[in-house]
Structure 1
Amino acid sequence: MPAMWAEIQELINRFPGKVGVWLENLHSHEQYAHNPDWKVYAASTIKLPMLCYALSTGADLRQAVPVKPEAVAGGSGVLKDLSPGLALPLLDLLTLMIVVSDNTATNVVLDFFGHKEPFNAYYRAQGWRSTYSAGMLSLPDDRPDPRRAKGEASTVSAEDLGLLLKQLWTGQLLPPEATQTALSILSRQQFTFFLRYLPADLDDLEEGTAPLRLYAKSGEIRKCRHDAGILARDNAAYSLVVLTETDADPRFHPDHPAVLLIGKIASVLYQHRLG
């Protein structure tokens, strides 16, 4: 493990910005971290703890939930482009929230459970000290969330997301059925930076022909690129969280330095421990 961590540390040292990393063997619980308690803008990684809270409530996942006009958001997702008046099962909304990072679905889920307060109370109860949901995501300027203070931001840390992933994987966070639901949704993630240099793609994962399993949630905003997930093969499983912030490149594109960093760190983990 030290040789692997040395390679990762070298990658971090060359990155033109700040990085938070949490890496843990989910069987031996050996941990390595860099800036683990750095509280950073969450981007869409906040949807991971949101998913866990929603599943912890025991709510009926089959019940239809309306997509209200005030929840329709910009940014990632498909609901914003569909016909108005939709009502979808809660399970479908949670799935859209994760697999295509749908901001509108996220806002519908937030509203369904009573806005940010119950989510944040749950995060505090789990000991996730830097995790905070600020309110609805990506609403237009002329239709702001009245319960979100100006400038208020959702935040996470590498340690918090690492703790969440460990608790989820070991069955300490959710009941068995809810755990399987969460992992099933996370396994269908369509946006991830981890696969950049790994010997698998999304089709391989979907078809079950990949040499690994991946359960992940990424996030990106102008200055930040993040990915958090579990990489597993046979009986080995590792949680990996990489959070970044940089002014080096303001564009959204596949060769962003943070995207490459996240992919390279995942590749080092795979080569040393999962390949």
Structure 2
Amino acid sequence: MKILQEKIESRLKDAKGTWSVSIEDLNEGTSFSLNENELYYAASIIKVPIMAAVFTAADEGGIRLGDRLTLRRDDIVGGSGVLQFMTPGIELPIYDLLTLMIIQSDNTATNMLIDLIGMEKIQAVMCGTGMERSEIHHKLMIVQANRLNSNEISASDVTALLTRMARGQCVSMHASEQMVRIMKQQQLSNGFIDNLPKITSPIIGAIPDWEFAGKTGNVDGIMHECALLYVRGRCIAVTVLSKGCPEDEARALIAQIGNDVYSYAR
């Protein structure tokens, strides 16, 4: 871990903007962090604890993941996602809304789930799953004229949540398995897997060299990525948060960090 730490610190020493990193090796029990308690605007990383809150509500019996929610015209917001292009009145299972929220970062699906669970419940789940500094205050893509606070996260909080998932300690073993399964279907990346080897094999059903269960977050001046990286039986929880760095430079740095973590895990 020391060599990995030195590599990442060297890369970020002269980087533009502000950066935070939190890494935990679940197999070895070692970790590295840099500015891990710095608070950042959460962007779409907030969707990971929202997912945990929905699974908590299902575990407690308040909802069922197969229950259907109706898409209303008032639910539709812009930004990421496909639901904004769908016809109001369609019904989708909660599980499908969770999947869209994570793998396509669908903002409309996110807001529907926030309305379903409630801000207070989501905040309580965040605190209960290790996200003690992070806060949720508003829905996505809706700018309130009197907004006083923003959704905020720290790298250490996000890694704590990911670590609980990987250990089967987030809500329940079954819920953790389902959440990781959803995150492994991720269709978006802010660079973390850009420099990793291509997964190709002539053998059908071959076990891949690596797997990635992640979530991105980005708005103007913000670029985040968090992930569980599985490499040859090992699992590394990684959170990289940045603000004030040009997008192309931020993506390149996240890609370098991703490759550093992969090389360490091998």
Out of 202, 211, 214, which is 2:212 matched to? 214
Question: How many residues are treated as equivalent by the alignment?
Answer: 259
Question: Match for residue 233 of structure 2?
Answer: 235
Contact 2:24 2:236 in 1 (8 A): yes
Question: Match for residue 43 of structure 2?
Answer: 43
Letter in 1 for 2:238: L
Out of 127, 131, 141, which is 1:138 matched to? 141
Q: Deviations over 1:128-168 (max 9, x none)?
A: 122212221103x6xx5xxx952531111100011001111
Question: Match for residue 183 of structure 1?
Answer: 180
Structure 1-normalised TM-score? 0.88
RMSD, matched Cα: 2.1
Percent same amino acid among aligned pairs? 27
Query: Using the alignment, how far apart are the partners of 1:197 and 1:209 within structure 2?
Result: 20
Question: Match for residue 265 of structure 1?
Answer: 257
- Asked if 1:17 corresponds to 2:17, the answer is yes
- Asked if 1:89 corresponds to 2:93, the answer is yes
- Asked if 1:71 corresponds to 2:75, the answer is yes
SS of match in other structure, 2:108? helix
SS of match in other structure, 2:81? coil
1:86–1:201 Cα change, 3 Å: farther
1:200–1:133 Cα change, 3 Å: farther
Contact 1:63 1:90 in 2 (8 A): yes
Which runs of structure 2 are paired with 1:103-252 in the superposition (5 Å)? 103-113=107-117, 115-139=118-142, 144=144, 149-192=146-189, 193-200=191-198, 210-246=208-244, 248-249=245-246
Gaps (5+ residues) in structure 2? none
Question: Match for residue 104 of structure 2?
Answer: 100
Contact 1:107 1:136 in 2 (8 A): yes
Aligned-pair CA distance for 1:23: 0.7
Query: Using the alignment, how far apart are the partners of 2:154 and 2:141 within structure 1?
Result: 21
Gaps (5+ residues) in structure 1? none
Question: Match for residue 60 of structure 1?
Answer: 64
Query: Using the alignment, how far apart are the partners of 2:213 and 2:35 within structure 1?
Result: 23
